[in-house]
Structure 1
Amino acid sequence: MANVPKVKLNTGAVMPAIGLGTFSGNEPHEWPQCKPWIHTALQAGYRHLDTAYGYNTEKYVGEVVRESGIPREEIWITTKLPPHHMSRVAASLEESLERSGFDYFDLYLMHWPITRRYDPALGSPFSPQKEWNVLEHPTFSEAWAEMEKMLETGKVKNIGVSNFSVKNLEILLKTAKIVPAVNQVELHPLLAQNDLLAYCKEKGITLTAYSPTGYAEVRENPDVKKIARKHGVSSPPVALAWHVQRGTSAVPKSTNAERQKENLNLPKLDEEDMKILNSLDQGKHLCDQPGEDGTIFGWTLEQLGWSAWQA
């Protein structure tokens, strides 16, 4: 089995540094399609599965874990509170547990700092909406206070945030009793997030990358491909090694069994490799682009603290 690197959180918990993203699409027929590639990932040695209420894959993650025969306590499960459930943290957590069939989650993240109106009929909160129905309350700080209470129940072992900028982390930490264990954000060589990484390290927050291999724009980059050839691997393991050697974790999505194995066998990048990869930063976001209204899920780039946005 692959020797998966690990990262120690500010709670003392040890989390596999490479996990599997399980987003499978916004349409209901796409949600169960994650099962075969979650199975192959567990067979390859993955022991960290990243899901979310808004992905609608919690049910299938739970089914695969039980079908795998691997003890639940050997697999790290991350899930997330969706923006339209910010007013009902405890109820949303119960629904996630019920969907998955788990007794607890290892990590529970606030998916976005955005609060939207509760809508039980909303299938996928991240598919395009005519109205985002953004609310001022509860604020993300108020919702975080409710998440802190969930730790006392034992139903979550660690709590954190996702898509938080330095600006919003500073606001959160003014009232938070518990510092987030993790902040999961878009992160790859074209979007190095150096200021955010430095801030999170200073506060003891582990930065986790989604879209960590940067789609084709990173994978097909000549410098990345050159480093990959040097180490006898493909481009994705190079990007993932860059994350791990910077002290961050990553949750790549891969549906291909062979690529899943590759993503757990990372090369050791030398100083020159890291220098080249660090030089690729353009502050370039590759996912979650602003819509016609200029917002991302109802919030402006200024509200998100992403004013330096490059698309």
Structure 2
Amino acid sequence: MIIDAHMHLSGTGWVRGKYLRFVWKMYITEYNRVHKTNKTIDDFKDMLTAMRPSVVDPEGDGVIELLDKAGVDKAVIFPVDWEAITGPPNVPYRDQNKAHADAAKKHKGRFIPICALDPRRGNAMDLAKEAIEDWEMRGFYFMPATGFKPDDPVCYPIYEKCIDWGVPMIIHCGKEIAHWDYNHPTQRIANVALMYPELKVVLGHAGTRIYRNEAIEACIIPNLYMDFSEYQGFWRLQPNYFYQWLRDAIDACGPEKVMFGSGFPNPNVLTPEAEWVKAIQEPQTDIEFTKEELDMVMGGSAAQVFDIS
């Protein structure tokens, strides 16, 4: 079973346009390095718009088509609660979370819906209860880049309820255009895992390239895991270094702590889903991986973390 442990559905009005352009600038910079081109932000927008199936897909129909073509059985899906730095989107984040929950019901057995939540919201606990108890969502996603630290006491009530509900917590840990000093909170996420040993905690993006080795060290903690979504640029630019990192992560933490992920949709402009799957399933390198290790990375580990049968 193959599971993409990190994907986002998208809809019109879900993210403020000015912020999207900042994000696209980051991605087109990497695209230009990989392809030795000089494309602009508008070019990236055009490439994203031209992707088929469409990335404007709040019900997940196109994502299912994409997963089927890539041979991916299931995906962990969630929005991102950006409101603290972008202002309110046209579609409220409660509705975006509900859309992910509804997509999981529509495509039964294919999506694992996760609730994106800013723990500083005054009604954060009410939103959390609604997501888990009413909408049957399967965990939570924090984006510290909006300006908070994962080990701040404001987060503790959500962590404690995660333990009660038996659901995991994904915390962003990687490149992002906003609040750079909050983007790589590996040590603070490790603090959370140590404070709450019953809570399964996932390093979303595994620190990306700059903090990739910190992610390995942190995931030695028994209840701390990683997904390496958005590592496509690392693989394309420095494939030998990428595969050596993956080998090191498996050796240090065990394959059951390492999860395949894409970060769809933006990274898929650089590397389509099927190509990224093949890069891990059939690694073109002299570095050796066993079939059992790759099977665990490609889906077995996520099945354990997200309680997927």
What's the TM-score once normalised by structure 2's chain length? 0.52
The reply on whether 1:111 has 2:143 as its aligned counterpart is yes
Matched, 1:149 2:161: yes
Task: Give the equivalent residue in structure 1 for 2:202.
Answer: 182
Deviates more, 1:248-257 or 1:194-203: 248-257
Match of 2:113 in 1: 77
Cα distance change of structure 1 residues 23 and 77 upon mapping to structure 2, 3 Å threshold:
closer
1:67 aligns with 2:111: no
Paired residues for 1:213-228 under 5 Å = 213-214=232-233, 218=234, 221=237, 223-224=238-239
User: Which residue in the other structure is 1:206 paired with?
Assistant: 225
Partner of 1:102: 135
Letter in 1 for 2:224: I
CA distance in 2, matches of 1:95, 1:208: 26
What is the DSSP-based 3-state SS (H/G/I as helix, E as strand, rest coil) of the residue aligned with 1:43?
helix
Write the letter of the residue equivalent to 1:181.
V
Residues 1:146 and 1:94: Cα distance change in structure 2 (over 3 Å): closer
In 2, the alpha carbon distance for the partners of 1:148 and 1:187 equals: 24
The match for 1:47 is: 74
Q: In the alignment, what sits opposite 1:191?
A: 210
Describe the shift of the 1:169–1:150 C-alpha distance in structure 2 as closer, same or farther (beyond 3 A): closer
- AA paired with 1:104? M
RMSD between superposed Cα atoms in Å: 4.3
Q: Is the 8 A contact 1:161 1:180 kept in 2?
A: no
Matches within 5 A, 1:1-311: 3-4=1-2, 16=3, 18-22=4-8, 24=10, 26-27=15-16, 32-34=56-58, 35-44=60-69, 45-52=72-79, 54=81, 56=93, 57-68=96-107, 70-71=108-109, 75-85=111-121, 88-96=123-131, 102-105=135-138, 107-112=139-144, 140-152=152-164, 154=165, 157-163=167-173, 165-169=185-189, 171-172=191-192, 175-176=195-196, 178-185=198-205, 187-188=207-208, 190-191=209-210, 193-214=212-233, 218=234, 221=237, 223-224=238-239, 243=246, 246-247=249-250, 248-254=258-264, 259-265=272-278, 266-272=281-287
Unaligned ranges ≥5, structure 1: 5-15, 115-125, 127-131, 228-237, 275-311
SS in structure 2 at match of 1:54: coil
On the 8 A contact 2:76/2:111 being kept in 1, the answer is yes
What is the distance in 2 between the residues matched to 1:42 and 1:170?
Answer: 32
Distance in 1 between the 2:154 and 2:196 partners? 9
Does the 8 Å contact 2:172/2:204 carry over to 1? yes
Deviation, structure 1 residue 39: 2.8
Work out the percentage of aligned pairs sharing the same amino acid. Answer: 8
Q: Is the 8 A contact 2:204 2:227 kept in 1?
A: yes
Counterparts in 2 of 1:262 and 1:268: CA distance versus 1, 3 Å:
same
Q: Is the 8 A contact 1:89 1:143 kept in 2?
A: no
**Structure 1 residue 54 displacement after superposition:** 1.4
TM-superposed CA distance for 1:185, in Å, is 3.7
Change in Cα spacing, 1:242 to 1:64, as seen in structure 2 (3 Å) is farther
Deviations 1:175-201 (A, max 9, x none): 43534432224544x435212311222
1-side partners of 2:116 and 2:247: how far apart? 23
The CA deviation at 1:51 is: 0.7
Amino acid at match of 1:103: E
Provide the rounded CA distance (Å) in 2 between the counterparts of 1:175 and 1:198.
17
- What letter is aligned with 1:81? L
Unaligned runs of 5+ in 2: 21-54, 83-92, 174-183, 251-257, 290-309
CA apart distance, 1:204: 3.7
Assess if the C-alpha contact under 8 Å between 1:90 and 1:150 holds in 2: no
Q: TM-score, normalised by structure 1?
A: 0.52
Q: AA paired with 2:115?
A: T
